[in-house]
Chains A and B, each alone.
Chain A
Amino acid sequence: MEHVKGLLAKVGIDPERLEMFNLSAAMGPRWAEMCNEFTEKIRGLGPSPIWLATYRLKRNIKE
């Protein structure tokens, strides 16, 4: 995970956008909790640079 986070940082992507969670198939409520927490975290970070770049590119083409 640390290695992949380092690779993302190299290309300007916040390593915080990647996380790994370990849990068993019997931990449904915890799974939902993690998904919600991570979704909120990503919302807080805003759109990814790749998404923004692609969006701008598409918008320019339309314009």
Chain B
Amino acid sequence: MITGEQKPFEEIWNMVKDFKKVLVFGCNTCVAICHAGGSKEAEILASLLRMRAAQEGAAIEINHAAVERHCEPEFFQPGMDNVRTYDLILSTACGVGVNLLSEHIGDIPVFPAINTEFFGAVPRSGEFTELCAGCGNCILHLTGGICPIARCSKSLLNGPCGGTNNGSCEVSPDIKCAWVQIYDRLKQLNRLDLMNEIVDAKDWSKAQGPRNFKVKLLEEIKK
């Protein structure tokens, strides 16, 4: 899922303080799971902003709402008449949601209330870890299912650097060396031969935006 963390409150306040009618607009999918931008967090943020506005003597009407997804128009389109009655939409969705809503809303600004971070797994409730960088050219079949792009600090493709230290990365002892993990996993799979496979220099053009794709099957059905 896409993960994110709420921006510092002062930064958010500085974004909204000059507007008169603000909607804190939550997204109930990924960012709700990481307790950053779901309906509950949107409601709390709206409440905090009202408290701040009261103390600053700022006459701002601040409300909240949420939809299941900001990344697909069909989820937010039904409520757009109400959304368009505001001067500012403070979105607690990920950056994808902010972009898409901006595209559809017309002449009303959409500001981000969270910093979108990465797409990651949830090994335990409340804990998020980046396992894939979405680089557009997967080599997990060669690396025991452990991604060196996302999980090695240097994104090395052909083994560890000299900074690997007793299973940890030189960047931090809290970061496991991805290549030690890859070695251990390949050993477990009895596929250490894959360590000798040389991965060519990566084509990073597939990892850079703007990217898009269409599902061919759906395109054919439409025809």
Query: Residues of A with Cβ closer than 8 Å to B?
Result: 7, 10-13, 49-50, 53-54, 56-57
Contact call A53/B57, Cβ cutoff below 8 A:
yes
Docked Cα-Cα span, A13 to B9, in Å, equals 14
B contact patch SS: helix
Can you sample 22 A-B contacts with CB below 8 Å?
A: A7-B44, A7-B48, A10-B9, A10-B48, A11-B9, A11-B48, A11-B55, A12-B51, A12-B52, A12-B55, A13-B51, A49-B55, A50-B51, A50-B54, A53-B54, A53-B55, A53-B56, A53-B57, A54-B54, A56-B57, A57-B54, A57-B57
| Chain A residue nearest in CB terms to B10 | A10
Cα distance, A52 to B56, chains bound together (Å): 11
**Nearest CB of chain B from residue A10's CB, rounded to whole Å:** 5
- Residues of A contacting B52 in the complex (Cβ-Cβ under 8 angstroms): 11-12
Provide the residues of chain B in CB contact with A7, threshold 8 Å: 44, 48
Across the interface, which residues of A come within 8 angstroms of B44, CB to CB?
7
Q: Mark B29-55, 1 if CB is under 8 A from A, else 0.
A: 000000000000000100010011011
Name the residue among A49, A50, A53, A54 with the largest chain B CB count within 10 angstroms. Answer: A53
With CB as the reference atom, state the residue of chain A lying closest to B8: A10
* Complex Cα gap A54–B57 (Å): 8
Alpha-carbon distance A50/B52, docked complex (angstroms): 8
B window 50-69: CB within 8 A of A: 51-52, 54-57
For the complex, give the distance between the alpha carbons of A21 and B190 in Å. Answer: 57
B56 — which chain A residues lie within 8 A by C-beta?
53
Chain B, Cβ-Cβ closest to A4: B44
